[in-house]
Amino acid sequence: MIIGRSSGILLHISSLPGSFGIGDLGPSAYHFVDFLESAAQKIWQILPLSPTRIESGNSPYSSPSAFAGNPLLISPEKLVKSGYLNASEVPLFEEADSSSVDFSRIVAHKKELFKKLSGKYFLREEAEMKLEKFRRENKYWLEDFCLYSVLAEHLDPQWMNWPDPVRNREEEVLQELRKKYREEVFQEEWLQFLFYEQWNDLKAYAHGKGIRIFGDLPLYVSGLSADCWSHPQYFQLDDEGNPTVVSGVPPDLFSETGQLWGTPVYDWATLERDDFQWWVERLKQNLKLFDLVRIDHFRGLSSFWGVPQDYETAEHGTWMEGPGQDLMDQLKVNFPEMPFVAEDLGEEIDQGVLDLRDHNGLPGMNILQYAFGGAEGDHRFVPDQYVENSVTYTGTHDNNTTRGWFQQTSQEVRDKVREMLGADTEPENISERLMRVAYESMSDLVIIPMQDVLNLDSEAKMNLPGTVEGNWMWRLDEDYLNPGMAEWLKQMMEEYQR
């Protein structure tokens, strides 16, 4: 693994505290980096930074772009500090509940704020030069994404319904549209520039404190994305842009009909003929953002579950061959250190997935909540099975919090937990005890969700897989980031030599 024995915390940017209704790249992010340093943590893990949409449940895993950043995370305070806005131009945001993100209000509030940026840009020659440089460095995706975003507003949110010349990307027509919507396209470019400028500042600050950023890469992209419109040849789509085969997983203990994710699956043969360029460019972009990248649903690179578009559930799918080692070989050429982690979870992990992971030296994942049997149980999650080249979690963003899990699991599982951790294990101490098991393990890297550091119950969970409403909303109370909490974590790092 590219890092030694160490530990970190999982907390998404949107979950940070702050004054504008959603965590952002402003002062609270820098405060959290300071907290990580004082707590002797080396890694900050976050979720994808991609744009989100209310129509997709605000999920960072269902984005209109695999390359763009999320403007909702732009900090108003940093805009003022950088001179792009005056303090008087930033409206106050009154929130009824600071522990939760109200996405519909946030989107409206940020749109109004961003309108005030228009027209100010050309007053700053230095910023104009920076933007031009940003355009050159992000040429592969930026122009298409910005035009796509504007056309989705003016024509139809579903690009498959656009007039044929637009849907089919006739260059003369696209040039006319770029001229027609020049100001709006420019606004989208400007927001992407500001997002990346603020992110790069934060990343540099984290590096200065000895903190590295661990990001997340969804395997699939939304069908309603700039990627599918600009590179339809890389996805299994019909002539009108509609998916012919969609993604999912087969029936398992959690669902009799499987999970139908509904995103287009890749045309891997076409990607391979182009030396997997789109994937290489995507990972290059992610490695501008992150020091380490988790590849979500890694098993889909070995083989994937494809479901014909006209089925409403996933049980009628079939296993289809993924790119396997051919893709890995191309990634090794471009990224010799292979700074990737394989998300190798799920019922359908077979030897082919494990071989692909191990042959390329990628760390896998261990989830301690899965070590005690029940529907989630699997012998490979028992701590004495862990190897050094792995990442251990109490739970992930897709799990209940550890306290919530312990309170809601079966009596049989609770008995097994107490057998391992002590007969006096209760909701009040379950998170700390499981954290200690993780820190004591052989795994090079241990990541603990912030909710488990604080031993919060199920009200603080981030996501419930298979649902659309009520996810991605949890926010941290700033008062929790105190010297006592940092010292407690630091002492455990010394105790377990992390």
Convert the pLDDT of each residue in 261-284 to its tens digit: 999 999 999 999 999 999 999 999
Q: What is the mean pLDDT of residues 381-385?
A: 92
pLDDT number for residue 467: 83
**pLDDT of 169 over the 80 cut:** yes
* Residue 88's pLDDT band (cuts 50, 70, 90): confident
Nearest by Cα to 250 from 235, 262, 260? 260
**pLDDT of 338 over the 60 cut:** yes
**pLDDT of 459 over the 70 cut:** yes
The values of phi and psi at residue 449, to 5°, are: -60, 145
pLDDT number for residue 374: 56
* Residue 92's pLDDT band (cuts 50, 70, 90): confident
Task: Report strand pairing: 364-367 vs 390-393.
Answer: parallel
* Nearest-10 crossing angle of helices 27-38, 182-208: 20
Higher pLDDT, 298 or 469: 298
Q: Among 17-31, 198-212, 373-387, where is mean pLDDT lowest?
A: 373-387
**pLDDT of 122 over the 60 cut:** no
Question: Would you give the distance in Å from CA 456 to the centre of its chain?
Answer: 22
**pLDDT of 124 over the 90 cut:** no
pLDDT number for residue 118: 66
Amino acid at 204: A
User: If DSSP codes are grouped into helix, strand and coil, which group holds residue 203?
Assistant: helix
Is residue 178 a contact partner of residue 189, using CB atoms and an 8 Å limit?
no
The residues annotated as belonging to the active site are 296, 343, 398
**pLDDT of 121 over the 80 cut:** no
pLDDT number for residue 465: 85
Two tokens, residue 342 = 């394989």
Nearest by Cα to 151 from 188, 126, 124, 115? 188
**pLDDT of 377 over the 60 cut:** no
Element (H, E) at 303: strand 303-308
Mean pLDDT, the chain, integer: 94
pLDDT number for residue 254: 65
Q: Cα(149)–Cα(185) distance, rounded to whole angstroms? A: 8
Beta carbons within 8 Å of 180's beta carbon, 6+ residues apart? none
292, β-bridge pairs = 214
Number of helices and strands in the chain (H, E): 18, 12
Residue whose structure tokens are 């010394």:
494
- The structure's pTM equals 0.96
Q: What is the mean pLDDT of residues 455-483?
A: 92
User: If DSSP codes are grouped into helix, strand and coil, which group holds residue 366?
Assistant: strand
CA-derived radius of gyration, the chain: 23
The values of phi and psi at residue 434, to 5°, are: -70, -35
Higher pLDDT, 123 or 51: 51
**In percent, how much of the chain has pLDDT > 70?**
96
* Residue 466's pLDDT band (cuts 50, 70, 90): confident
Q: Cα(227)–Cα(221) distance, rounded to whole angstroms? A: 8
Quick: pLDDT tens for 401-429: 999 999 999 999 999 999 999 999 999 99
**pLDDT of 3 over the 90 cut:** no
Q: What is the mean pLDDT of residues 99-126?
A: 82
**pLDDT of 123 over the 60 cut:** no
Q: Cα(449)–Cα(380) distance, rounded to whole angstroms? A: 21
Is residue 229 a contact partner of residue 64, using CB atoms and an 8 Å limit?
no
Residue whose structure tokens are 């005056």:
86
Q: What is the mean pLDDT of residues 165-187?
A: 96
Q: What is the mean pLDDT of residues 476-486?
A: 93
* Nearest-10 crossing angle of helices 125-137, 182-208: 90
Q: What is the mean pLDDT of residues 208-219?
A: 98
* Residue 119's pLDDT band (cuts 50, 70, 90): low
Quick: pLDDT tens for 242-258: 999 999 999 876 678 88
**pLDDT of 173 over the 70 cut:** yes
